[in-house]
């Protein structure tokens, strides 16, 4: 299981949108996907449960951080969510230094939460290919915990609202991503800043130039080295608002189709960077094989029922002849 933490200490930049839409896409590709909602607002939980697409694990996030959990209790599916319960800020952030007994030893609650989260990720790892963690708009202890245990991190930003200082703090501040990588989790890979809700205005272009000059090497880039950007689009807002995949809206709406084409390439880029491509290709090959096997099975069934086969042949003949006649 590969774990991606979506985090930045700014509100409303698109963390939840990225986690939920990427999760839906990964699931559609056949990756067994787990989403974890670390935000008490519960937007990710609501968005994924709205149309009943993801199934809630039988424990909530605060429960798995403070109560013993066994694998059989969780109820894994191909697309699961560890739901928010509104109690995490109180349970971890505000009372992090209060002591409690864990496995017979007295420890701070933050340490207990961290150990239990590490155990939880290990426990669920064989059941999933991808785990996406949606953080709150903060760089607090729960986000640090996720970064300390995750494999990858990504930070959506809004160009005109970001500053070089803010982004540098996200990377190198006392709780920064690179600081955590350098101290407690050297396997953590920063995929980059991902500008979201991009419009081609003079202000945003100026911001991209300015931020790019100092921190350009920390932006997510495609294979040709071009910076990757998610445009501001009503269809993205609509998909999130309706609790559906953008890919679904794309089936009936031309603007959504165009946007989905762009967003899908970005998601593919992210999945490639997480080394999931060979797994996705293997799943796709397996699906093709199943389709081929089913078709072979159908042909065999027809051969085994000669009467039915004969009737079909006569129907084809009738059709062909009636076409011929109509051309005379």
Ligand X SMILES: Nc1ncnc2c1ncn2[C@@H]1O[C@H](COP(=O)(O)OP(=O)(O)OP(=O)(O)O)[C@@H](O)[C@H]1O
Q: Is 262 in the site for ligand X (CB under 6 A)?
A: no
Distance CA 6, CA 34 (A): 14
Span near ligand X by CB under 6 A; candidates 6-14, 27-35, 122-130, 311-319: 6-14
Eight-state DSSP code of residue 158 = -
Q: Which is nearer to ligand X, 124 or 263 (CB)?
A: 263
Radius of gyration for the chain, computed over Cα atoms and rounded to the nearest angstrom:
24
Phi-psi region of 12 (alpha: psi -120 to 50; beta: other; left: phi over 0): left
Give the ranges where the chain is alpha helix by DSSP (H): 15-28, 43-49, 61-66, 88, 109-124, 141-149, 164-172, 177-183, 202-215, 234-242, 246-250, 254-273, 277-304, 306-327
Q: Is 38 in the site for ligand X (CB under 6 A)?
A: no
**Total interface residues for ligand X by CB under 6 A:** 19
Among 203, 237, 277, 295, binds ligand X (CB under 6 A): 237
Q: Which is nearer to Mg ion, 45 or 80 (CB)?
A: 45
Q: Hunting for tokens 């006649």 — which residue is that? A: 325
Distance CA 189, CA 151 (A): 6
Span near ligand X by CB under 6 A; candidates 91-99, 124-132, 231-239, 300-308: 231-239
Among 3, 7, 9, 16, binds ligand X (CB under 6 A): 16
The binder of 17, among Mg ion, ligand X, none, by C-beta within 5 to 8 A per type, is ligand X
Distance CA 302, CA 119 (A): 53
The residue among 311, 155, 144 whose CA lies nearest residue 228 is 155
Distance CA 20, CA 240 (A): 8
Q: Which is nearer to ligand X, 146 or 197 (CB)?
A: 197
Q: Which is nearer to ligand X, 135 or 150 (CB)?
A: 135
The binder of 65, among ligand X, Mg ion, none, by C-beta within 5 to 8 A per type, is none
257 three-class SS: helix
Distance CA 144, CA 239 (A): 30
The binder of 237, among ligand X, Mg ion, none, by C-beta within 5 to 8 A per type, is ligand X
Among 9, 16, 60, 235, binds Mg ion (CB under 5 A): 16
Q: Is 21 in the site for ligand X (CB under 6 A)?
A: no
Tell how far CA 72 is from the center of its chain.
Answer: 24
Q: Is 139 in the site for ligand X (CB under 6 A)?
A: no
Eight-state DSSP code of residue 226 = P
Q: Is 232 in the site for ligand X (CB under 6 A)?
A: yes
The binder of 232, among ligand X, Mg ion, none, by C-beta within 5 to 8 A per type, is ligand X
Q: Is 17 in the site for ligand X (CB under 6 A)?
A: yes
Q: Is 160 in the site for ligand X (CB under 6 A)?
A: no
Q: Contact letters (x/-) for ligand X, 193-212, by CB under 6 A?
A: ---xx---------------
Q: Is 243 in the site for ligand X (CB under 6 A)?
A: no
Cβ(23)–Cβ(245) below 8 Å? no
The residue among 75, 12, 6 whose CA lies nearest residue 36 is 6
Among 3, 29, 39, 45, binds ligand X (CB under 6 A): 39
Q: Contact letters (x/-) for ligand X, 46-85, by CB under 6 A?
A: ----------------------------------------
Q: Which is nearer to ligand X, 60 or 196 (CB)?
A: 196
């Amino acid at each position: 299981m590969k774990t991606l933490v979506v985090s930045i200490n700014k509100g409303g930049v698109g963390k939840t949108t990225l986690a939920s839409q990427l999760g839906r896409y990964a699931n559609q590709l056949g990756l067994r996907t787990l989403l974890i909602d670390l935000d008490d607002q519960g937007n990710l939980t609501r968005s994924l449960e709205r149309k009943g697409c993801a199934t809630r694990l039988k424990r909530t996030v605060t429960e798995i951080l403070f109560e013993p959990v066994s694998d059989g209790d969780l109820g894994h599916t191909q697309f699961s969510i560890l739901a928010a319960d509104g109690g995490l800020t109180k349970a971890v952030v505000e009372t992090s230094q209060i002591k409690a007994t864990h496995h017979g030893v007295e420890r701070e609650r933050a340490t207990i939460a961290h150990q239990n989260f590490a155990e939880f990720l290990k426990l669920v790892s064989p059941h999933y290919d991808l785990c996406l963690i949606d953080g709150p708009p903060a760089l607090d202890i729960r986000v640090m915990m996720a970064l300390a245990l995750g494999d990858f991190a990504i930070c959506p930003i809004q160009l005109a609202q970001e500053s070089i200082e803010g982004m540098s703090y996200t990377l190198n501040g006392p709780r920064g991503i690179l600081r955590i990588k350098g101290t407690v989790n050297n396997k953590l890979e920063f995929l980059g800043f991902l500008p979201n809700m991009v419009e081609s205005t003079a202000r945003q272009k100026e911001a991209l130039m300015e931020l790019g000059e100092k921190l350009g090497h920390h932006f997510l880039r495609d294979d040709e080295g071009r910076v990757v950007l998610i445009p501001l689009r009503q269809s993205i807002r609509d998909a999130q608002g309706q609790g559906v995949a953008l890919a679904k809206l794309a089936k009936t709406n031309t603007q959504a189709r165009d946007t989905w084409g762009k967003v899908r390439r970005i998601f593919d880029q992210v999945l490639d960077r997480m080394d999931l491509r060979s797994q996705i290709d293997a799943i796709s090959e397996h699906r093709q094989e199943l389709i081929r096997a089913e078709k072979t099975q159908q042909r065999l069934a027809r051969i085994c029922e000669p009467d039915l086969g004969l009737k079909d042949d006569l129907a084809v003949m009738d059709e062909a002849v009636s076409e011929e006649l109509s051309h005379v």
